[in-house]
Amino acid sequence: MGSHYDVVVVGAGFAGLYAVHKMRDELGLDVQAFEAAGGVGGTWWWNRYPGARCDFESIHYSYSFSEEIQRGWEWSERFAGQPEILAYLEWVADKLDVRRAFRFNTRVTSTTWDDKAARWIICTDDGATCTARFVVSCVGGLSVAKEPEFPGSETFRGELYRTSSWPHEPVDLTGKRVAVIGTGSTGIQVIQEIANEAAELTVFQRTPNFAAPLGNEPVDLAQRRWNAEHHAELRAGSRQHMIGVPYDPPSGPALAATPDERRRIFDKYWDRGGFRLLVSTFSDVIFNQQANETIAEYIRERIRERVKDPATAALLCPTDHPYASKRPPFETGYYEAYNLPHVHLVDVRSAPIEAITPTGVRTSSKSYEFDVIILATGFDVFTRPLLNLGLRGRDGLKLEDRWANGPTSYLGVQIAGFPNLFVINGPKSAVALYNVPLATEDNVNFVAAALARAIADKTATFEATYEAEEAWGRLCEGILNLTVIPHSKGSWYMGENIPGKARAAYFFAGGAPLYRAICAEIVHVGYGGFALDRVSAPIPPMVRLDPAAALLLGSMLARGMKPLDELNLDEVRAVAESLRKLQLPGPAMRVETVEAPRARIYIPDRAGPLPVIVFYHGGGWISGSLDLADAPCRRLADENGAIVVSAHYRLAPEHSFPAATDDTFAALSWVWKHVSAYGGDPGRIVVMGESAGANLAAVAAIRARDAGIPLAGQVLIYPPIDPEASTASRTEFADGPFFTRAIGEKMWGAYLGGAELTELAAPSRASSLAGLAPALVLTLELDMSRDEAEDYAGALASAGVPVRLHRFDGLFHGVFNMSAFIPRVREMYASIGEFVATCKEQITEAA
C-alpha cells in the first residue's frame, strides 16, 4: 500500500482547487489530489469548443472567498469565454500554490472503504494505491460525456469531435461541410460561433430549446478595474439570492399581470440578458404551467421574429416542455444563423439518427455527407462521475447498487453507507440552480468544518444516516414537484437524457438561501442527520419541512426577512399584516360590521338558521387584525355554511392582560345574544382561534362554561397554552422554523404585562376542565407550542371533554395564514369542516 494522507481530493476544477487550499492551507492537513486532465480547470480545461463561455456574469461566476483574488483579476467580457476562465483558474491555482498537491493525468479508478482501519483505499489508473482518512470528491456534475445512442462513430473517415474533449490545437472548419448534433447550451454556443466559418453547416435537432439572449459585451479597461475594486458591493447579497447572483427580484405573479405589463417586463429582462429572463420577471413562471406558457409564448414570438423562414422558425419553437424545465440556454445570434443560406436544420425527432457512417450521418429517412461531425450530445450528469470512482462503502456496498433507483444523498454532500466520503456539489445539492463558484465555496466550507470537527473530536467516522438521506430525498423531490421541472422531457435535470437512467430528483431546487439556512441549522444542532462514530444526531426541523413550507421559507429568506425576534413592534405588526398576501383570497359574500363589540359578520347565502363560528385572529396578542382574518373567515363561512363572527380585541403592549380575553369573551357573549338576528343559531356556536387567538378561544370556552353560555365546540389552531410550559417542542423548535421561542416569550411578556399567570391566560391552569365544549386541537410538527397544545388536548380528554387532536407534519407556526403557498393548509380547513359538521350533528341529535 502506498502513502497515507489525511485527505484525498479528486478533481481540479473550481471545487478541487478551493478544496485543496482549504484543507491544506487552512486546516493544515496532508492532502493528495488527483486529476485526470493534464492541468487545472475542470470543465474549462475540457470544454474548449468554439464559443464556450459562461452564462452567469464573470464578476459573479468566480471565487468570492479571497479579497486578493477578487481584486487581482479583471474580466475582459461580461460573460468570459473558455480561454479566459481557464486562464483565471490557472492564475488562482498558482496564487494558492495548489498545483503541487495534484497528480495530473491520473484517474482514480477505485475507492474502497476499509472499515477496520477506518480509511479509504484509493487506486489510480497508473497502478498506484494510497490510503486516506477522508476523500473529498470534486469530480464535477458535468464531467462525463454521454455515450451516443447511435453506433458507428469509429467508422467515420472525416474529423469527429466531442465538445467536452475538444482538441487543444485549433480546429480549422473553413471550407468544410460540418454537422452539429445537439442543440443544448453547448450545441447552441457552437452553432452560432461556427456558422460563418463552415462552408455548409447542418444542425441535427431533436428537441428545440428556449434560448434567450446572453447579452455579452466587452468590458472596457476602466470598467474592468472598477469591477475588480468594487467586487464587495457588486456581489453583496449574492448568496441571499435564489440562484446566487444579485439579479432583480421578480415582479409578482405573471397571472396577476395584464398582457401589456407582462410584455413590458419580458422585454425589459430579455434585453438585459441571461438568467434575468427567468428570475427577474415573474414569480410563478417556474411553478405554474399557465404562467410558464406566457413566457414560453413570448420566447416563441421572438424566435418567429428573428428566423425568416416560417417552417424553420416553427421547427425551432419548443412546444413540448415548459420554459426552464430544462436548463435554459443563452445565445448570441443563434437564431439569425438559420437565416444564412448554408445553414440547414434537420429534425431528428421525426427521423432519428440511426448511425454515423464512414461518410457522414444516416437518419431513418436520409444519408448526409460531412467532413466534420461535432457531438454536442450532453453529459451523464451528477451520478456517472461519482460511479466512475469505483466506490465501495461499508461491507463492500457498491455505489451503483445503492443508486439503482436513482441517486441518494444528504445535502448532496454525503451518501449513507460511505463514511468519510464528502462530495462537493453532488447529486441533490443546490448546485444546478446556484451559481457554481459560490455553491462550491459553501459546500467546501461545510465539509472543511465537518473535517475540523471530526479531527478535533478524534472522530473516526463521519457519515450521513439513511434516515436523513431519506428525509432530504423527500424534500428534494417534493420541492421539485412544485415546479414545472418534472414536466420536462429528456432533461438531465431529471436524469432523462440518458437511456435507462433512473428518473429522479437529481438536485435541490429550493434555492441558495434555503439550502444555506438548512446547512447552517445542521451545523448549529451538532451535525443533525449525521452519525459521528455511529452516534447519530436527530434530523433537524428544516429537513423535515413540508416542501411548500420550505419553499415559502426560502423565498422569505431571499427577501431578507429578519428573524421575528429581531423585529420591533411596528415591524412585527407589518409582518403579520403582510401575511395577507400569502392567503388564498376568500369568496365574496355579505359582510356586516358591528361596532360594539367591534366585529365583522360573514353571512353566506344559505338558508338558516346557520351554525356560528366566533373567530379570533392570531398575532401573539400584539399584532394581527380583522383584515388578517378576513380571507380565512370568508372561507370558513363558505366551506362550513356558517355565520362567522370575526371579533376584534385590544392588542398588547398598549392593552395588556386581561384586555384581550375580556374583549373576546365579551364578543362571544354578544354573539350568543344577538346572532339570531343575522341568521345564526345561538345553540350551535363554535369558538375558534388561530395561534394567540386560539389561546383566547380556549379561555373563552372556559369562561362560557362558567357563565352558562352553551358552546357546540372549540377549535384551537396551534394554541400557545402556557408560557411556563417546559416541553420538548419548546427546546427542539426554539430557533424556528419561522416562529422562535424568543419571539414567543416576547409576545407572552407583552400580553401578560407583569400580571400573575391565571387560567384566564393559561387555560391549562383552570381548576377543572370538565364540562367544556368538545374540542378540535390542530397542532404542527415543527412548532414550539406543539407539545403544550397536545398536553392540553390530553388534559381536556382526561376531564371527559370529547377531543380530536390532529397533528400536521412538516408545518410550522403561522401556516394557517399561508394558504396560497402551502396547499396542505387545505387539510386544516378540511379537519375543521369535519369537526364543525360533527358539532352540528351532536347538537341536532341532542335537540
By CB under 6 A, name the binding residues for ligand FAD.
10-16, 34-37, 42-43, 45, 47, 52, 54-56, 61, 107-108, 138-140, 142-143, 186, 385, 388-389, 425, 435-436, 440
* 651 touches 578 (CB < 8 A): no
What is the bridge-based pairing of β-strands 421-423 and 462-464?
Answer: unpaired
Residue 435 interacts with ligand NAP (CB under 6 A)?
no
Report the residue number, 142 or 685, with the smaller CB distance to ligand NAP.
142
Nearer to ligand NAP, 61 or 462 (CB): 61
Q: Residue 706 contacts by C-beta under 8 Å, 6 or more apart in sequence?
A: none
Q: How far is the CB of 189 from ligand NAP (least distance, A)?
A: 6
Closest to 690 (Cα-Cα) out of 791, 810, 599, 825: 825
Distance CA 763, CA 747 (A): 17
Question: Minimum distance between the CB of residue 178 and ligand FAD, rounded to whole angstroms?
Answer: 19
Q: How far is the CB of 405 from ligand NAP (least distance, A)?
A: 22
Task: Return the CA Rg of the chain.
Answer: 31
Q: b/e for 150-159, b at 16 or more Cβ within 10 A?
A: beeeeebebb
Which one of ligand FAD, ligand NAP, none interacts with residue 536, CB within 5 to 8 A by kind? none
Helix (H) / strand (E) element for 481: namely helix 466-481
What cell numbers appear for 317 in the block?
Answer: 419553437
Residue (150 or 226) nearer to ligand NAP, CB: 150
Which partner in ligand NAP, ligand FAD, none is near 10 (CB below 5 to 8 A by kind)? Answer: ligand FAD
Q: Please check whether residue 95 is in contact with residue 65, taking contact to mean a CB–CB distance below 8 angstroms.
A: no
Helix, strand counts (H, E) of the chain: 26, 29
Nearer of residues 375 and 548 to ligand NAP, judged by Cβ: 375
Q: Which stretch binds ligand NAP (CB under 6 A): 167-175, 184-192, 549-557, 767-775?
A: 184-192
Host H or E run for residue 375: strand 372-375
CA–CA gap between residue 217 and residue 80 (Å, rounded): 9
Among 137, 186, 483, 488, which residue sits at the site for ligand NAP (rule: CB under 6 A)? Answer: 186
Helices 547-558, 512-524: inter-axial angle, 10-degree rounding: 100
The entry of ligand FAD, ligand NAP, none that residue 497 binds, CB within 5 to 8 Å by partner kind: ligand NAP
Q: What is the DSSP string of 271-308?
A: HH-TTHHHHSS-TTTTT-HHHHHHHHHHHHHHHHHH-S
Binding string, 111-150, against ligand NAP, x = CB under 6 A?
A: -------------------------------x-----xxx
Q: Rounded CA gap, 633 and 649, in Å?
A: 16
Strands (E), 440-504: 462-464
Q: Least Å distance between CB 231 and ligand NAP?
A: 21
Among residues 4, 3, 7, the alpha carbon closest in space to that of 420 is found at 7
Residue among 7, 34, 43 nearest 125 (CA): 34
Site for ligand NAP contains 353 (CB under 6 A): yes
Site mask for ligand NAP (CB under 6 A), range 364-393, x = bound: ------------xxxx--------------
Residues 6+ apart with CB under 8 A from 127: none
Q: Which helix (H) or strand (E) holds 669?
A: helix 659-674
Choice between 149 and 592, CB closer to ligand NAP: 149
846 CB contacts (<8 Å, ≥6 apart)?
A: none
Q: Name the residue nearer to ligand NAP (CB basis): 53 or 544.
A: 53
Which residue, 376 or 671, is less far from ligand NAP as judged by CB?
A: 376
Residue from the set 58, 124, 137, 189 that interacts with ligand NAP by CB under 6 A: 189
CB of 386 to ligand FAD, least distance (A): 8
Out of 162, 239, 327, 786, name the contact with ligand NAP by CB under 6 A.
327
The region of 182-190, 242-250, 359-367, 791-799 touching ligand NAP under the rule CB under 6 A is: 182-190
Supply the minimum distance, in Å, between the C-beta of residue 565 and ligand NAP: 40
Comparing CB distances to ligand FAD, the nearer of 171 and 355 is 171
Residue 43 binding result from ligand NAP, ligand FAD, none, given CB thresholds of 5 to 8 Å by partner type: ligand FAD
Residue 342 in contact with residue 198, Cβ under 8 Å? yes
Question: Distance (Å, rounded) from C-alpha 221 to C-alpha 215?
Answer: 19
Query: From the list ligand NAP, ligand FAD, none, which binds 443 (C-beta under 5 to 8 Å, kind-based)?
Result: none
Helix (H, G, I), strand (E, B) or coil at 600: strand
Toward ligand FAD, which CB reaches closer, 38 or 151?
38
Q: Is 628 within 8 Å of 617 (Cβ atoms)? A: yes
Residues 192 to 251 in contact with ligand NAP, rule: CB under 6 A: 204, 206-207
C-beta of 424: minimal distance to ligand FAD in Å? 6
- CA 504/CA 494 separation, integer angstroms: 5
Contact string 278-317 vs ligand NAP (x = CB under 6 A): ----------------------------------------
Closer of 210 and 472 to ligand NAP (Cβ):
210
CA distance 335 to 305: 10
Q: What part of residues 48-107 is at the interface with ligand NAP (CB under 6 A)?
A: 54-55
| CA atoms of 393 and 388, how far apart (whole Å) | 14
Shortest Cβ 792–ligand FAD spacing (Å): 50
Looking at the Cβ atoms of 10 and 464, the one nearer to ligand FAD is 10
Of 477-536, binders to ligand NAP (CB under 6 A) are 490, 492, 497
> Which one, of 233, 248, 19, lies nearest residue 140 by Cα?
19
754 phi-psi bin (left φ>0, alpha ψ -120 to 50, beta other)? left
Residue 376 partner contact from ligand FAD, ligand NAP, none using kind-dependent CB cut-offs of 5 to 8 Å: ligand NAP
Nearest CB to ligand FAD, comparing residues 122 and 784: 122
User: Which residues lie below 8 Å from residue 383, measured CB to CB, with a gap of 6+?
Assistant: 403, 407, 427, 495, 501, 506
Give min distance, CB of 815 to ligand FAD, in A. 33
Q: How far is the CB of 132 from ligand FAD (least distance, A)?
A: 14
Q: Does 348 bind ligand NAP (CB under 6 A)?
A: yes
**Cα–chain center distance at 739:** 20
- In the complex, the smallest distance separating the C-beta of residue 629 from ligand NAP, rounded to whole angstroms, is 46
Of 93, 173, 179, 181, the residue at the interface with ligand NAP (CB under 6 A) is 181
> Between 186 and 420, whose beta carbon lies closer to ligand NAP?
186
Using left for φ > 0, alpha for ψ between -120 and 50, and beta otherwise, residue 360 falls in: left
Grid-cell match 346557520, residue found: 610
From ligand NAP, ligand FAD, none, which one binds at residue 385 (CB under 5 to 8 Å depending on kind)?
A: ligand FAD
Choose from ligand FAD, ligand NAP, none: what does 36 bind? Cβ within 5-8 Å by kind. ligand FAD
H or E segment and range at residue 6: strand 4-10
Q: Which single residue is written with the C-alpha cell 442527520?
A: 529
C-alpha to C-alpha distances, 266 to 214, 319, 555, nearest whole angstrom? 14, 19, 21
d(CA 31, CA 466): 29
Nearer to ligand FAD, 389 or 725 (CB): 389
**Nearest CB to ligand NAP, comparing residues 181 and 685:** 181
In the complex, minimum distance from the CB of residue 775 to ligand FAD, in angstroms, rounded to a whole number:
53
**CB under 5 to 8 A by kind: which of ligand NAP, ligand FAD, none does 108 bind?**
ligand FAD
- The CB-of-287 to ligand FAD minimum distance in angstroms stands at 22
DSSP 57-110: -TTTSS--S-HHHHHH---SBSS-BHHHHHHHHHHHHHHHT-GGGEE-S--EEE
- Binding residues (CB under 6 A) for ligand NAP: these are 54-55, 142, 148-150, 181-187, 189, 204, 206-207, 327, 330, 348, 353, 376-379, 490, 492, 497
